[in-house]
Structure 1
C-alpha cells in the first residue's frame, strides 16, 4: 500500500478534522462531510479539506474515515459504501465490538471495513480544537475482523502511520475491555471525584492544587458523548467500576475504624495495600515512545514568570545546556504572576541542567 493520495472524512469534529489536517500535511487530497453545516465550514476554513459533494464521486478515494458517534457508525458506513466513496473504510469510535456487530447487521461490506480507535482526544470538542499533531506518538487501536481484507488492513496501517501514531493490533472485544480499563472507567472515576467538588465552598476550592487538577482533568468531557460511549461498553466498564468501588469502600471502612487513634501507626492493610498497588499500577503505564515500563526521570522544578515566551526561553536554555526535556508539567500559582515548570530529565542530566539554569538567573529547586 502506497501513500494515501485521496481521502474522505465523514465527521468534522475534533478527531475527524485532526485526521484531515494530518493527512493534508502529506499532500493528501481530503473531502470532508458533516451533518452540521457550520462545523463543516469551520473545518474547511481551517485547511482540513474541501466539502464532499452530494453527487457520486468520479472515482473512489483511497480511504474513508468514519468519525461519528458509536451508534451512528454502522449507518454512516453503509451509506458511504453504497455511494462508493472509497476503496477502504475505517472508523474512530471508542468502542468496537458493538460497532462491528451493528455494521454486520446493517449489511455493510466487512471486507473493506477495518475498525480503528485513535487513543487521543481532549476535553474540548469540535474542529476548532483539532491539531495535525494530535496523534503524534499515540497508540491507535487497529481492530480488523475476521472478514477484513489484508489490503484494507494495510491501507489503515498507512493512515495511522501518516497521522504519526503507532498501530496496536487488537481484537474488537479485547479492545473494549482494554478501553474500559485505561479510558472509560477512569473517566467515570474522575467524574466522581470532580462531582465532590460541588460540595466545597470557595475557600476550600482556593486550596486546590495540581493534584486535583490532574485527577479531574478528563471529567470536563462532553457528558452526552461520554454517555454514548459508556452505554456501548457497559459490561466491561461496570466491571472496572465495581473493583474500584470495592477498593474505595474497603479503604473508607478501614479509615473510619482506625479513627484519630490510628495516627502515627501503620496504615490498615486495606489502605496501605491500595496505595502500594497504586504505585505499582502507575509504574506500568507505558512511558515515552511506548516503552513497556516508564523510564525513571528526575524532576527539576524551575520558577518561571507567567508571561509570553517564558517557557520558550526556558527550553532554549535547556537546549544550550545540551539537556533534552523528556516531559514537562506546569503548576500555576493561583493569584500570582508565576508558576513552576516541572522539567523531567534523565537523572544524569539533572545536576547539569540545574547548574546552567541557576547561572542564567532561574530559581531552581532541585
Structure 2
C-alpha cells in the first residue's frame, strides 16, 4: 500500500490516518469540516490536498446512516481502487450500498473495535488499534484483491483481523458493544435524579460502569437505530432479568421466611451468572479469560526508578496487581520487575506507566 484516503477526521479516522502516515503511506484526509481537516493535518495525519489519481484504499469514517451515500459519491469520483468503512453496523450499510448501485466487488465492510471517551482529531492516537480486534465483513461479491488490501490496512494499524459476515457481526456487537453502551447510559441517567450528596459519593465502580456513557449521543442514536433489531432482542431478554431481580428484592422485604429464602436464591443466581459471564471475556489474540493474568515487564534500572515509586504509580493508575515477580537480575531496585494484572487492565496500566516515564513491554 502506497496511498490512502481517510474520509472523516474524527477520533477513528484521524487515528487511522496517523497510523498509516507513520508507516510511510501517503495519506489524504478528507472532511466537510475544514477545521477538523486542518487539525488532523497539523497533527501529522496526512495531507489535506485531494489525490491526483485513485488511491490504493479509501477508509470511510462517517456515521452508519451516511456510509452508503458517501461510498457511492466517492466511487463516482474515482477516489480509490478499494473502499472500506469503520461503522459499527454492517448489514444495513451494505444493503444500502447495493440499493445505490455501488461497486461492491471493491468494497469490504470494516469495524475496528477501539475507541476513547473523547472524540475528534485532537483525541486521535496512532496506536489506538494496537492489538485490538478489527472486524472485516467481506461478502460473496468482494474481490480477493479488495480483501487483501483491507487486511493490509488492518496490519499497518497494528490490529488483529477477524472475518465475519455482516449479520453475524451485527449480532456480536449488539451483545458486546451496543447493549453495554445503552445500559451505561441508562445507569448514568439515574444520576440526574440523585441527590447531590449521593452523587458526590460516586467512586470507581460507578465511574467504570458509566464510562462509555460519555460518548456522542447523536452518533450512538445513529448506531442503535441501524442495529435496532439485534439490540431490541437483547434488551427484551435483559428486561426479563431485571424484572426477576426486582421481584427478588421486593420479596426480601416480605416477612415470610420462605419467600425471603427463595428471593435470596434468585438474587444469588443473577449475580453468579454475571460472574460466569464476565469470566468468558478473553484477552487479545484469544488468550485466557479473566482468571488468567497478563504479564508486563517494567524496567526499574537506575537510581530514579525505585520499586517504591513504581508501586506508587500503579496505585495512581487505579489498577490492582494480581502478583509481581522479579525474573531478571540484579534484584530491585535495579533490573526489571514483572507485574501480573487482569488481561483487561494490561492496556490501561501500560499506557499509564508509559506516560509516567516507565519502559514497559
TM-score when normalising by structure 1 = 0.81
Instruction: Quickly say closer, same or farther: Cα 1:181–1:130, change in 2 above 3 A.
Output: same
Q: For the residues of structure 2 that align with 1:317 and 1:298, how far apart are their CA atoms?
A: 22
Q: Structure 1 residues 223-232 or 202-211, which shifts more?
A: 202-211
State the match for 2:355 in structure 1: none
Greater shift, 199-208 or 135-144, is seen at: 199-208
User: C-alpha separation between the residues in 2 aligned to 1:281 and 1:319?
Assistant: 36
Kindly state the Cα deviation for residue 45 of structure 1 after the two structures are TM-superposed.
0.9
Match of 1:232 in 2: 226
Query: What is the DSSP-based 3-state SS (H/G/I as helix, E as strand, rest coil) of the residue aligned with 1:161?
Result: helix
The alpha-carbon deviation at position 250 of structure 1 amounts to 0.5
Preserved CA contact (<8 Å) 2:160 2:285: no
Does 2:1 align with 1:24?
no
Contact between 1:62 and 1:88, CA under 8 Å: does it hold in 2? yes
- Taking the aligned partners of 1:180 and 1:79, their CA distance within structure 2 comes to 29
Answer yes or no: is 1:203 the counterpart of 2:197. yes
Q: 1:200-258 CA deviation, whole Å, 9 max, x = no partner?
A: 12211121111111000001111111000000000101111111121111111111111
Aligned residues: 322
Give the Cα–Cα distance (whole angstroms) in 2 for the partners of residues 351 and 160 of structure 1: 34
Paired residue secondary structure (2:105): coil
Q: C-alpha deviations, 1:272-329, integer Å up to 9, x for none?
A: 1110010111011112444253352499xxxxxxxxxxxxx9x9545999x9xxxx97
Partner of 1:191: 185
Paired residue for 1:282? Answer: 278
Aligned partner of 2:72 among 70, 78, 99: 78
Q: Per-residue deviation at 1:125?
A: 1.1
Distance 1:145 1:351 in 2: 48
Does the 8 Å CA contact 2:84/2:150 hold for their aligned counterparts?
yes
Alignment partner, residue 32 of structure 2: 35
Q: Which runs of 5+ in 2 are unaligned?
A: 296-301, 334-361
Query: What is the correspondence of 1:205-224 to structure 2 with a 5 Å cutoff?
Result: 205-224=199-218
Matched, 1:146 2:122: no
- Of 7, 14, 25, which aligns to 1:10? 7
Cα offset, 1:199, TM superposition: 1.5
Contact persistence 1:21–1:48 (CA under 8 A): yes
Aligned ranges 1:305-324 → 2 under 5 Å: 316-317=305-306
Superposition TM-score, scaled by structure 2 size: 0.82
Shift of 1:264: 9.8
Moved over 2 A (4+): 260-270, 292-299, 315-321, 339-345, 347-352
Correspondent of 1:344 among 321, 330, 353: 321
Q: CA, structure 1 residues 199+230, in 2 after alignment: closer, same or farther (shift >3 Å)?
A: same
Query: Secondary structure of 1:117's partner?
Result: strand
Aligned: 1:112 with 2:106: yes
Find the partner of 2:253 among 259, 269, 278.
259
Query: RMSD across aligned C-alpha pairs, in angstroms?
Result: 3.0
Offset at 1:269?
3.1
Inter-partner Cα distance in structure 2 for 1:351 and 1:258: 51
Whether the aligned pair in 2 keeps the contact of 1:189 and 1:241 (CA below 8 Å) is no
Asked whether the equivalents of residues 247 and 270 of structure 1 are also in contact (C-alpha less than 8 Å), the reply is no
Match in the other structure for 1:48? 45
Instruction: Tell me the secondary structure at the aligned position of residue 111 of structure 1.
Output: helix
Which of 147, 157, 161 is the aligned partner of 2:155? Answer: 161
Report deviation, 1:270.
Answer: 2.6
CA distances 1:157-215 after superposition (whole Å, capped 9, x unpaired): 01001101100000100100001000001101111111111111221112111111100
> C-alpha distance in 1, partners of 2:83/2:183?
34
Q: Match of 2:114, SS?
A: coil
Q: Which residue of 1 aligns with 2:269?
A: 273
CA contact (8 A) 1:63 1:87 kept: yes
Whether contact under 8 Å (2:110, 2:136) holds in the other structure is yes
Counterpart-to-counterpart distance in 2, 1:24 and 1:103: 29
Identify which range, 12-21 or 81-90, moves more after superposition: 81-90
Q: 1:329 to 1:197 in 2, by over 3 A?
A: farther
